Amino acid sequence: MFSIVTYFSVEALLLLLVTALLYACLPQKLRRWVLLLASYIFFYSISGKLLAYLLFSTLSVHHIGLWLADVQNECAAQTKGLARDERKALNAVYQKKQRKIMGFACFIHIGLLVLLKYTPFFSENINTLLKLAGSSFKLQIPKYLIPIGISFYTLQAVAYLFDVYRKKIPADRNLMRLALFMSFFPQLMEGPICRYSDTAVALYDAPKMRYDNFVLGSQRILFGLMKKLVIADRLNLLIQNVYAEPNKYDGFIIALSAVGYTFQLYADFSGTMDLVIGAAQMFGITLPENFKRPFFSATISEFWKRWHITLGTWFKDYIFFPVSMSKPMKKLTTQARKKLGNHYGPLIAGAVSLFCVWICNGLWHGAGWNYIFFGMYHFALILGGNIAEPVVIKITQKLHINRASFPYRCIQIARTFILVCFGELFFRAEGLKSGIKMFCKIFTDFTFASLKSGSLFKCGMDRQDYIIIIVSAILLFVIGILQEKGIQIRNSIAKKNIAVQFAVYYALILFIIIFGAYGAGYVPLDPIYAGF
Amino acid sequence: MIYVKRIFTFIMFVLGLVGLLIGSSYIFLPKSNEKNSGMEEFKANGILGEKANSIDILFIGDSELYSSVIPLQLWDEKGYTSYNCGTSGQTLDYTAVMLNRTFEKQSPKIVVLEAHAIYRKFTVKNVLFTKTADYFSVFRYHNRWKTMKIQEMNKPAEYTFTDECKGYRFSTKVKASENAKTHMKPSDKSAPIEKLNRQSVLKIKKFCDEKGAKLILVSTPSTKCWNYMRHNGIEAFAKELQCEYIDMNLMKKEIPIDWDKDTRDKGDHLNYFGAKKVTSYLSEYLESTALLTDKRGNPDYEKWDLALNEFNKMLKEQHV
């Protein structure tokens, strides 16, 4: 049976190759069908009959979009030629109608996501509360099969409907274009979370496959493979051992694993994004970037503008702004501004919006207290940073520290990295309790004894494994610096003569084949973000 | 013209890549079949170090097999030369690899396949990987970069190592089975065999026929891995293959396994005491095929006597 487990499986790469081949050979009208068919085959091979959920979401989004458009058109027709006051009153009536439709749409789409993903978690917690209250009543904990990518395509669907509601885009009457937008197979499992205006038209147009796109896309896929097979899968040897039984290890090893996990998560997710974006590029489709050298961030806010960018912008556009621009929040800001001034005044309404964003962000990643803690941790850090900013500016001014200087930025980057690693420790820990224990152990049981005795090299990764990880990290660091300087490495390689190009590709392929963590003795890492 | 140029460039790229893979495979291929040289499954691959055309019986399968058949006991009792190529979790794609490797240097008259491997799931992906790794061993031995020395890289491969127990894994651990009483409860149902597994066994049968070797299917005793439904499945499949099938799980008289004493891990695998009983039965059975000759006393097989002496010495040291 043809079944795909990860993007990095032979089956997935085979599907990509066959689709690319058909796409290259067929005329435009059929190319879009090839993409849609490949997308549904991809979905079916992972989730089987749960494909029905995706089809239902697509049909419902299409229908609700048209419904909204009809109401908007009706409103425009009815208000045409009316006096201002009458127009305003009628607009309000239609606005209310649209809001009801949006409420219904959210109820269906977010409701389905909540039902499938969060009911077991909520039921468990209600049972715990009932038990604490002395009640013998117990809710049945449901078990649902969750279709792959539901967290991703639901957000795309909701974004599309909100954009139609806000008249940013017209509702699409073409069901196929919408179906392609919802299901395009490279991005189905782990994103990026695209907007309708980003990809729908290009997907439906199904541009001709071009040689340069094919080469650049293949390059990026190779780079993603390197990150996944050499770094993420190799680090798995250490991470799975330490996080499974943290009590066995000292604070130094736990701290190292926290750093290792942060790097692993980055290599896994950004490597997958390289594959996804590279695969789309082969078809001439430009997907939005999800990563922009996040470890060069000076603050946590900046980090979230560079890490999982499409999720961050989704929360910003569809949660942060609507909440902060709502009437009660505007009123609150005006009042607070009078009492607390221009910096701290807007912070209160901002904090409420930020709280909504981070509780959703935590829950989006998973139904568990550690994920909620992870969200609240970042909420506290960002809010704390905003509150402390004027004080920090004053202190640095008094101490004559140039905040724009290179050493100061380096310190900020290091601080942000450490804070991110702590956050990821809770994120990966097997439950919140375990995360707290591990965090405490870093400070109460920190010793270099394991390094001196060599037991560090018996926790899953040996000396050579560490060397490869360090070499790969240096490689990514150098590439990151070049990209920060605006150098387009892939384009530069593509412009070199054929011998240099071949040498670079061969070196990368051999690096993956020789240093990849696959075969006997290795357990490949499950795609982390596909689980969300 | 541009298309021709691109196709030419692509062909050149692929050819260069194949050349690099061949080169790196040569470098990474273990230069000896010992564990220290990085040889995979070195005990099973010890057969590569056996004298050419000296092995009469090849045992092949998973851990059930390497725990159950003692080649040196067969030598001791009947003078038959055999090798146990069982490996942990062996899937049929690897069975085919081991068969091919063995028949390059040996021409066994009998191939005994442990039937548990027939029920072990594997995918087309496994087959592809195994095939690719067969052509380009860098995929199988890439991890040798950790231990490889520069002087090794250019050395020609020379496989002279052979396992002292001829592939058998000795263990005297005892952990009684917990389901011995319900083991092999009769059933009319038959456990289905995956399509890919069926095809693989058919290929193995064809290969053995072409090489003039008799294929025998065997189920060694295991209360964890074997049941009546699997017995039915293999029995029917053996008929289809037109080969013999011996289910030792049903031979309680001929092979009186004591599930309190003869297993090392609660009935999953046999220990030495159980393996001795299985091998004794096998030696009689193999004699009855009249395909093999007693080679004891033949000066060409002196090393087998030496290996047996060492094995017996080890048994004494272990107070067995």
The C-alpha atoms of residue A423 and residue A406 are separated, in whole angstroms, by 26
CA distances from B192 to A239, B120, B215, B246 (A): 38, 12, 21, 19
- A211-225 and A251-282 helices cross at what angle (nearest 10)? 160
Residue of B13, B28, B146 with shortest CB distance to A502: B13
Backbone φ/ψ region at A341: left (φ over 0), alpha (ψ -120 to 50), beta: left
Closest Cα in chain A to B2: A211
SS3 B239: helix
Q: Residue B60: beta bridge partners?
A: B113
Residue range B305-312: average pLDDT?
95
**A–B CB contacts, 8 A cutoff, strictly below:** 43
Phi–psi pair at B58, nearest 5 degrees:
-110, 120
Q: For position A403, what pLDDT does the model report?
A: 87
The residue extents of the domains of chain B are 51-122+164-317
Residue in A225, A472, A498, A506 to test binding to B, most B beta-carbons within 10 Å: A506
The C-alpha atoms of residue A370 and residue A36 are separated, in whole angstroms, by 37
Compute the nearest-CA separation of B77 from chain A (Å).
37
Is any Cβ of chain B less than 8 angstroms from the Cβ of A211? yes
Cβ <8 Å between A10 and B9: no
Compute the nearest-CA separation of B129 from chain A (Å).
9
By C-alpha distance, which of A313, A322, A310, A290 is closest to A162?
Answer: A322
Q: For position A1, what pLDDT does the model report?
A: 43
The topology under which CATH files domain B51-122+164-317 is: Rossmann fold (3.40.50)
The C-alpha atoms of residue B289 and residue B291 are separated, in whole angstroms, by 5
By C-alpha distance, which of B172, B198, B136, B178 is closest to B264?
Answer: B172
Residue of A211, A498, A510 with shortest CB distance to B24: A510
Cβ–Cβ under 8 Å, residues A355 and A379: yes
Is any Cβ of chain B less than 8 angstroms from the Cβ of A503? no
User: What are the residue ranges in chain A where pLDDT is below 50?
Assistant: 1-2
The C-alpha atoms of residue A43 and residue B11 are separated, in whole angstroms, by 33
Q: Is A210 exposed, middle or buried (0-12, 13-18, 19+ CB in 10 A)?
A: middle
The per-residue pLDDT for range B231-281, each reduced to its tens digit, is 999 999 999 999 999 999 999 999 999 999 999 999 999 999 999 999 999
pLDDT greater than 60 at residue B32: yes
Average pLDDT, chain B: 93
Cβ–Cβ under 8 Å, residues B214 and B250: no
* List of chain A residues whose C-beta atoms are within 8 Å of the C-beta of residue B139: 513, 519
Q: For position A532, what pLDDT does the model report?
A: 57
Residue range B286-314: average pLDDT?
94
Compute the nearest-CA separation of A10 from chain B (Å).
6
Residue with more model confidence, B152 or A323: A323
The C-alpha atoms of residue B25 and residue B142 are separated, in whole angstroms, by 8
